[in-house]
């Protein structure tokens, strides 16, 4: 069983979208990311798209997405629309599609329009930003962008270098956000705003510069902001390690059992039984 939604602007792409669960692994195009999730740039008759396959979902997550939570793909689509409505740049959403086996979510895909911009990571790590004055301008513009996000109540929980596209303009730099499924819409105080930079991953000297600019825009002390940030970063690192260790001894073993071969065989056999029963009743 499948569920999906396609933007009215891309209704001609229905066949491409609906068949993604069967065809994604065999699609051509450029693989942009291939870690837990796979992201591909794909040329179609209707334009150049980015297709993200959400993989590596734990059993309990699959269950939650199947019963009461929106899938990561559908959230990405919804949040793209919401950001665009608020005037925050993000690649235009094309569609999402979910595939289920016996009512359990097994595959989830989000499709957006391809934007030919480098990520912040590519610009900083691949030598595109050697001019110190341009780098300072970049961080000033990024601080302004982040401050605007927070004033609008937008909190990107995966606010990292790889999820920020940089758009050079005649007046500096603008930005476009990707990987939106973990965005929160809430009131953001200054302390929480500073904490939002924890996953950014830029060098310490650059981070201190960015924090100082963010503090000034927020009418706060740069020194205090820098101190708060590095305390939060250390605390976040320790907490992440603690959670990972706890999970490895509790939830993870049970999930491995439920996602194991025997469990998958059971679901396949159950699906076959349902299909045969459905045919016999027609």
- Is residue 244 in some structural domain? no
- Three-state SS string over the chain comes to CEEEEECHHHHHHHHHHHCHHHHHHHCCCEEEEECCCEEEEEEECCEEEEEEECCCCCHHHHHHHHHCCCCHHHHHHHHHHHHHHCCCCCCCEEEEEEEEECCEEEEEEEEEECCCCCEHHHHHHCCCCCCHHHHHHHHHHHHHHHHHHHHCCEEECCCCHHHEEEEEECCEEEEEECCCCCEEECCCCHHHHHHCCCCCCCCHHHHHHHHHHHHHHCCCCHHHHHHHHHHHHHHHHHHHHHHHHHHHHCHHHHHHHHCCHHHHHHHHHHHHHHHHHHHHCC
Output the pLDDT for position 66: 61
Output the pLDDT for position 60: 56
Q: Does 260 share its domain with 159?
A: no
Q: Does 94 share its domain with 174?
A: no
- Is residue 189 in some structural domain? yes
CA distance 126 to 265: 46
pTM for the model = 0.83
* Structural domain of 98: 2-113
Q: Does 89 share its domain with 108?
A: yes
Q: Does 137 share its domain with 156?
A: yes
Among 113, 136, 170, the domain boundary falls at 113
| pLDDT tens across the length of the chain (282 residues) | 889 999 999 999 999 999 999 999 888 889 998 888 899 999 999 999 999 999 756 655 666 666 667 889 999 999 999 999 999 999 999 999 998 887 788 889 999 999 999 999 999 887 667 788 899 999 999 999 999 999 999 999 999 999 999 999 999 999 999 999 999 999 999 999 999 999 999 999 999 999 999 999 999 999 999 999 999 888 877 767 766 666 566 655 655 665 554 555 555 555 555 554 444 444
Output the pLDDT for position 91: 98
Pairing of strands 154-156, 93-101: unpaired
For residue 63, give the nearest of 105, 100, 99 by alpha carbon. Answer: 105
CA distance 202 to 115: 23
The CATH number covering residue 66 comes to: 3.30.200
Q: Does 48 share its domain with 82?
A: yes
> Which CA distances in Å does 132 have to 121, 138, 139?
16, 10, 11
Output the pLDDT for position 273: 52
- Is residue 179 in some structural domain? yes
Q: Does 95 share its domain with 137?
A: no
Output the pLDDT for position 100: 85
């Amino acid at each position: 069983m499948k569920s999906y939604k396609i933007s009215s602007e891309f209704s001609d792409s229905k066949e491409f979208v609906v068949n993604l669960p069967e065809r994604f692994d065999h699609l051509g195009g450029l693989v942009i990311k291939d870690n837990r999730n796979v992201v591909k740039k794909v040329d179609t008759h209707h334009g150049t798209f980015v297709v993200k396959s959400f993989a590596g979902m734990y059993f309990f997550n699959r269950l939650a997405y199947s019963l009461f939570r929106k899938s990561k793909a559908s959230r990405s689509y919804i949040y793209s629309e919401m950001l665009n409505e608020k005037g925050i740049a993000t690649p235009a959403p094309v569609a999402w599609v979910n595939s289920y086996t016996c009512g359990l979510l097994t595959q989830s895909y989000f499709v957006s329009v391809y934007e030919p911009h480098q990520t912040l990571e590519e610009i900083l790590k691949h030598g595109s930003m050697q001019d110190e004055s341009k780098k300072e301008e970049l961080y000033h513009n990024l601080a302004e962008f982040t401050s605007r996000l927070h004033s609008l109540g937008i909190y990107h929980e995966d606010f990292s270098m790889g999820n920020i596209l940089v758009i050079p303009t005649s007046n500096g730099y603008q930005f476009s956000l990707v990987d939106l499924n973990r965005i929160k819409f809430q009131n953001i105080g200054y302390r929480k705003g500073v904490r939002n930079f924890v996953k950014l991953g830029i060098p310490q000297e650059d981070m201190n510069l960015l924090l100082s600019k963010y503090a000034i825009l927020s009418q706060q002390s740069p020194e205090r902001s820098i101190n708060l940030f590095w305390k939060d970063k250390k605390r976040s690192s320790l907490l992440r390690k603690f959670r990972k260790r706890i999970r490895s001894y509790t939830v993870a073993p049970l999930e491995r059992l439920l996602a194991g071969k025997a469990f998958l065989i059971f679901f396949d056999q159950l699906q076959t039984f349902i299909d045969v029963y459905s045919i016999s009743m027609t």
